[in-house]
Amino acid sequence: MLKIENLQAWYGPSHILQGIEMQVNKGEIVCLIGRNGAGKTTTLRTVMGLAGRASGRVLFEDNDLLPLPTHRRNGLGLGYVPEERRIVQGLTVRDNLRLGLLAATHKRRESDVISEIAEIFPRLAERLDQDAITMSGGEQQMLAIARAMVSQPKLIMLDEPSEGIMPVLVDEMFALFAKLRDQGTTILLVEQNVELALGIADRAYIMDQGLIVHSSSASALLADEEIKERYCSV
């Protein structure tokens, strides 16, 4: 579904991605792991067309992404929940979800979307008319994910969704990711909480200094104490 070949990226003169090779197949949760500064966020941003200059190839269902502007990539069915959540201040939860609807590839009825959200994120459905900025960090993160889901992406990329969220909510959220995968959404997950991420992932890639240095099934990596020690301690 997503195939990344020799992807290089620069921020100004800094050569950040040094030739990434990775692939995400339909229906998988793939986890991208690595130390701070390894280039995980830059990889997701480059796939979305939000980083600096890039070369190489990024294929999404046979579409060559790098020449396309970000909104065209969204239109092909790519969703992205960045590290910083981009909740729009002064808008209610409902308004934020409407923004997601505007980005939807197929027209959808707002009432259908709200009932779907109520099922997955009951907390949000109870707060539809609350100013989103007054919600807790965990609720805002859920809203950011819900807003991305509303547009029914084929592939959703999540950057550190557990950051700053209490463990019980994180467990709930990760259970939701597994459920979304089982319903057909493909997920590329960047996550510092390695054990938790590998618990729901199918496969994993490890990044270091702008390169993929290891790839394996999630279960093999979970059992590999040496690799985890070398690349996953933050």
- Residues lying near Mg ion in the complex (CB under 5 A): 40-41
What does the alpha-carbon distance between residue 101 and residue 217 come to, in Å, rounded to a whole number? Answer: 35
Contact 206, 33 (CB under 8 A): yes
Contact 99, 147 (CB under 8 A): yes
Residue 94 structure tokens = 């409902």
Question: Which residue number, 38 or 78, has a Cβ lying nearer to ligand ATP?
Answer: 38
Residue 215 structure tokens = 């790839």
With contacts defined by CB under 6 A, name the span among 35-43, 55-63, 100-108, 221-229 that binds ligand ATP.
35-43
With contacts defined by CB under 6 A, name the span among 39-47, 59-67, 109-117, 221-229 that binds ligand ATP.
39-47
* Amino acid found at 199: G
Q: Does 167 bind ligand ATP (CB under 6 A)?
A: no
Residue 4 structure tokens = 């990344």
Q: Does 39 bind ligand ATP (CB under 6 A)?
A: yes
39: partner contacted, choices ligand ATP, Mg ion, none (Cβ within 5-8 A by kind): ligand ATP
Among 6, 11, 64, 72, binds ligand ATP (CB under 6 A): 11
Among 1, 2, 7, 16, binds ligand ATP (CB under 6 A): 16
By CB under 6 A, how many residues form the interface with ligand ATP?
Answer: 11
Q: Does 152 bind ligand ATP (CB under 6 A)?
A: no
Q: Strands 155-159 and 186-190: what pairing?
A: parallel
List the beta strands (DSSP E) in the chain: 2-11, 14-24, 29-34, 53-60, 63-64, 78-81, 155-159, 186-190, 203-208, 211-217
Question: Which residue number, 54 or 132, has a Cβ lying nearer to ligand ATP?
Answer: 54
Bridge partner list, 118? none
Binding site for ligand ATP (CB under 6 A): 11, 14, 16, 34, 36-42
